[in-house]
Amino acid sequence: MGKKILLVDDEPLLRMDIKDVLENNGYEIIGEACDGFEAVEMCKKHKPDLVIMDIEMPILDGIKAGKIICKENLAGGVLLLTSFEDKEYIEKAKSIGAYGYLVKTASEKSLIPTIEMCLNKVNEFERMKKDLEKVNSKLDD
């Protein structure tokens, strides 16, 4: 696997649990953040393949941070991992371009497949970007 993942949650114990699960499944955790502002800064520095982020956090929440990360192309994709099941939050997640939305009560059995699907989308979009660059280059010539 070897994809770079940034974990963002204001609950250190939850981050530690998720980190252990992901590392035991072969993922590389490139960093951890406790709020959205720190997540944006770490994305600028490390350009992770995937950001797994809580919604409700201090300073800058996960929706606002995710919007910045997606808009500025600071990471391959964003997966929101949250305790909110409200349709309102799901719609907000869709509107910012999040690749996934998973409720925190999810087990490892659902976390890993969801991450794999998100990373697959990251790869698809990277291929499409490269194809578009080739087409644009040919059109310019």
- pLDDT tens profile 78-127: 999 988 888 999 999 999 999 999 998 767 788 899 898 989 898 898 88
pLDDT over 90 percentage in the chain: 64
pTM of the model: 0.87
Task: Report the side by side order of strands in the sheet with 28-33.
Answer: 28-33, 4-8, 50-53, 78-82, 100-103
Alpha-carbon distance values, 19 to 99, 111, 127, 141 (Å): 19, 12, 28, 47
Name the residue ranges covered by the structural domains of the chain: 4-140
DSSP state of 92: H
Work out the mean pLDDT of the chain and round it to a whole number: 91
Fold annotation for 4-140: Rossmann fold (3.40.50)
Between CA 58 and CA 35 the distance in angstroms is 6
- pLDDT confidence band for 2 (50 / 70 / 90): low
pLDDT value at position 31?
A: 95
Q: Does residue 138 carry a pLDDT above 50?
A: yes
pLDDT at 10: 94
pLDDT: which is higher, 52 or 110: 52
**More reliable by pLDDT, 105 or 63:** 63
pLDDT score at 1: 46
